[in-house]
Amino acid sequence: METERSVGDYLVFGWPSEEPSGGMRDFLGVVESLDGPWNLARITDFTEKMENGGWEWTVDFIEVYDQETLKLAGAWWVDSNGVWQVFKGAYG
């Protein structure tokens, strides 16, 4: 019998790039889609919004896992302009 998937299909983990290799990843929360999981890393206090219209991020690298299978569903990193990019195995 197949059951409906629950709300929050993806687990999001993040860490700063200066974290040593193999360092601790922080659990940021759950999202329903892969349309913008990095938004969980955004500082929510509007006074922290940067002058150029960007956001201050709590982490600059995230990995997203399927909640049901725990398989990696995607990874992203934020570039120096504050734009999230798909991680393809190397920064830049």
DSSP track, 25-49: PEEEEEESSSS-GGGGGB---GGG-
Which amino acid is located at 72 in the chain?
L
Between CA 49 and CA 55 the distance in angstroms is 5
Query: Mean of the pLDDT values across residues 8-28?
Result: 83
Between CA 76 and CA 86 the distance in angstroms is 5
DSSP designation for 7? S
pLDDT, tens only, 38-55: 999 887 555 555 555 566
CB 65 within 8 A of CB 16: no
pTM score of the predicted model: 0.75
Place of tokens 């190397």: 90
Closest CA to 34 of 71, 3, 2: 71
What's the confidence (pLDDT) of residue 18? 78
